[in-house]
Amino acid sequence: MTTPAQLSVLSQADATFRARELREKGARHLLGTFVDSAGVLRAKQVSIDRAPVFHSPGLGASPVWVIFCVDDAIAFTPSFGVVGDMRLRADLDSAVSLGDGSAWAPTELADQDGQPLAFCPRGTLRRQQAAAEADGLEILAATEIEFVAFDATGKSVAGRGGPAYGLAPLLEHAAFVDDVHRDFDHAGLAIEQLHAEYGPGQIELSVAPAAPLQAADANVLARVLLCRAGRRHGLRLSFSPRPFAAGVGNGAHVHWSFRRAGAPLLSGGTGPHGLTEGGAAVLGGFVRWLPEVIGALAPSLLSGLRLQPSHWSGAFACWGLENREAAVRLCAATPGNPRGANVEVKCIDPSANPYVVNALLLGLARRGLEERVPLPAETTRDPGPMTDDQRAQAGIVRLESNQSAMLDLLERFKIAQEILGAGLLEALLAVRRHEVEIARSASIEELVERFRFTWSV
Ligand code: GLU
Ligand code: MG
């Protein structure tokens, strides 16, 4: 199936049919989510009979929805102010019933005449995906979902909080975990695996790969499903990159695979580990440009605290086969990887907007292919303990963890502007620069606590 470059508008009859299908699955209302420039989920809701209206012409929203900040301040810019109006349009083709009377759909931004707005994050990813398909590329992506379960106070980890990868946390939260499986199944989102992660109270699950737009939707839907289930069990789930002042954070790594003319790019070639020329160029592009775009992948006031060596967070722009300290980890086509070779971009965290993340990485993959970016030497060891000189010699760049500096790099990076468009980039920079100001006058402990649930629902 090819992706239309604009949200396809259903006929009244088709939209009504979709609403009826959702109602038959038990939905009494539709929740439409919008992920803003701060990575925060905003939403509107209609009764299920009004779903066709939410789809077209859509529900009104002020342009400030694009420049809301983590603290609900508004980061006005020359392009986004108090004048004007937009429409949030629910994509009913992507709507699913959540059980318990709700349905969910992602939304896209249009103007009052129904024209797509160029700065819509989901619309931007849609255009990248349509362009990649027109280039003959088939791309799959999947986000790893990590979170920490806190008790109802939101201050302490729920239960014993360990051991890492233990059975105990799964049994301790068995009723919640069982609801999670049931709810994901009901919503048609396949969980590939679920486990207790390394950090106290941390849980991870993976979902099946999908086209990048659908993978970003799955990331949002997973968060909605998880937080709803958590609430039923007195758990508050943190998707903060830094749920505690110390220890590991929550990542939102994205695994990618690429095919052209039916053949995989990351295996079956003559390059290292079977990379094809195209596959090598994609990896080369990621490694070359990750330092410029980290301000969109790990962009929040807490992201830099996570993006540290020895945290498996991919703090270094380099690549390596199964290297968990490299921002770009190649997983080769072995019998142990039944879906084939894929590349994991590890430096991403859940405070980023997943549509922006996937649009950027998809755009960089296309650009890497186009420019035939050479593949640098593989990093076969942990870059953390290397000296600065050794890293410099090996061409390994430490990703910027200072928020202000990473935003400056992003602003200066022309390719990001080409991929995201000037409007979206302007909004992202303004909203994140507001965070730089917030962080100036607060301690790490205060920030961690204040924004622990900012990226939850
Ligand atoms: N929690 C780690 C992070 O912040 C990732 C651990 C893993 O490799 O899954 O990225
Ligand atoms: Mg993990």
pLDDT higher than threshold 80 for residue 42: yes
Average pLDDT over residues 371-384: 98
Q: What is the pLDDT of residues 194-223, one digit of tens each?
A: 999 999 999 999 999 999 999 999 999 999
Residue with CA closest to ligand 1 atom 6: 312
Question: Which CATH number does the domain housing residue 197 bear?
Answer: 3.30.590.10
- Using the mean position of ligand 1's atoms as its centre, give its distance from the Cα of residue 324 in Å: 9
The domain containing residue 82 runs over which residues? 12-116
Residue to probe by mutation, ligand 1, list 143, 294, 313, most atoms within 8 Å of CB: 313
* Spatial distance between the Cα atoms of 99 and 130, rounded to a whole number of angstroms: 32
Q: Are 319 and 349 a contacting pair, CB within 8 Å?
A: no
Together in a domain, 25 and 143: no
384: in domain: yes
- Using the mean position of ligand 2's atoms as its centre, give its distance from the Cα of residue 250 in Å: 8
Q: What is the pLDDT of residues 149-184, one digit of tens each?
A: 999 999 999 999 999 999 999 999 999 999 999 999
Q: Which pLDDT score is estimated for 352?
A: 98
Domain boundary residue among 116, 145, 167?
Answer: 116
- Using the mean position of ligand 2's atoms as its centre, give its distance from the Cα of residue 404 in Å: 27
Of all residues in the chain, the percent with pLDDT exceeding 70 is 100
- Using the mean position of ligand 2's atoms as its centre, give its distance from the Cα of residue 310 in Å: 13
Residue 193: pLDDT band with limits 50, 70, 90: very high
324 touches ligand 1 (CB under 6 Å):
yes
Q: Are 258 and 138 a contacting pair, CB within 8 Å?
A: yes
Q: Give the tokens for residue 384.
A: 């953390």
Predicted TM-score of the model (pTM)? 0.98
Q: Which pLDDT score is estimated for 1?
A: 74
- Using the mean position of ligand 2's atoms as its centre, give its distance from the Cα of residue 252 in Å: 8
Together in a domain, 251 and 379: yes
Domain count of the fold of the chain: 2
456: in domain: no
248 touches ligand 1 (CB under 6 Å):
yes
Domain boundary residue among 96, 116, 136?
Answer: 116
pLDDT higher than threshold 80 for residue 382: yes
457: in domain: no
Together in a domain, 103 and 177: no
Together in a domain, 306 and 252: yes
123: in domain: no
Together in a domain, 89 and 196: no
Half-sphere exposure of 65 (CA within 13 A, CB side): 25
- Using the mean position of ligand 1's atoms as its centre, give its distance from the Cα of residue 199 in Å: 9
Q: Which atom of ligand 1 is nearest to the CA of 346?
A: 10
350 touches ligand 1 (CB under 6 Å):
no
- Using the mean position of ligand 2's atoms as its centre, give its distance from the Cα of residue 66 in Å: 30
Average pLDDT over residues 431-448: 97
390: in domain: yes
- Using the mean position of ligand 1's atoms as its centre, give its distance from the Cα of residue 313 in Å: 5
Residue to probe by mutation, ligand 1, list 300, 310, 312, 331, most atoms within 8 Å of CB: 312
306 touches ligand 1 (CB under 6 Å):
yes
* Residue 371 main-chain phi, psi, to 5 deg: -90, 0
Together in a domain, 355 and 395: yes
As a residue count, the chain comes to: 457
Together in a domain, 440 and 322: yes
Residue to probe by mutation, ligand 1, list 194, 242, 253, 322, most atoms within 8 Å of CB: 253
* Spatial distance between the Cα atoms of 100 and 28, rounded to a whole number of angstroms: 9
Together in a domain, 46 and 192: no
Question: Which CATH number does the domain housing residue 74 bear?
Answer: 3.10.20.70
Average pLDDT over residues 98-109: 96
Q: Give the tokens for residue 228.
A: 């709803």
* Spatial distance between the Cα atoms of 206 and 251, rounded to a whole number of angstroms: 12
Q: What is the pLDDT of residues 4-29, one digit of tens each?
A: 999 999 999 999 999 999 999 999 99
243 touches ligand 1 (CB under 6 Å):
no
Together in a domain, 197 and 337: yes
pLDDT higher than threshold 80 for residue 104: yes
Strand partners, 157: 150
267 touches ligand 1 (CB under 6 Å):
no
Together in a domain, 177 and 296: yes
Residue to probe by mutation, ligand 1, list 146, 308, 348, most atoms within 8 Å of CB: 146
Q: Are 85 and 59 a contacting pair, CB within 8 Å?
A: no
Q: What is the pLDDT of residues 73-99, one digit of tens each?
A: 999 999 999 999 999 999 999 999 999
Nearest to 411 by CA among 138, 282, 420, 164: 420
Together in a domain, 181 and 288: yes
Half-sphere exposure of 17 (CA within 13 A, CB side): 6
412: in domain: yes
Q: Are 349 and 252 a contacting pair, CB within 8 Å?
A: yes
121: in domain: no
Q: Give the tokens for residue 339.
A: 């879906």
* Spatial distance between the Cα atoms of 230 and 180, rounded to a whole number of angstroms: 9
- Using the mean position of ligand 2's atoms as its centre, give its distance from the Cα of residue 199 in Å: 10
288: in domain: yes
pLDDT higher than threshold 80 for residue 248: yes
Residue with CA closest to ligand 1 atom 7: 312
User: DSSP label at 115?
Assistant: P
Q: Which atom of ligand 1 is nearest to the CA of 306?
A: 4
Q: Which pLDDT score is estimated for 385?
A: 97
pLDDT higher than threshold 80 for residue 277: yes
Domain boundary residue among 116, 147, 163?
Answer: 116
Q: Which pLDDT score is estimated for 187?
A: 97
Q: What is the pLDDT of residues 418-438, one digit of tens each?
A: 999 999 999 999 999 999 999
Average pLDDT over residues 391-407: 97
Together in a domain, 51 and 145: no
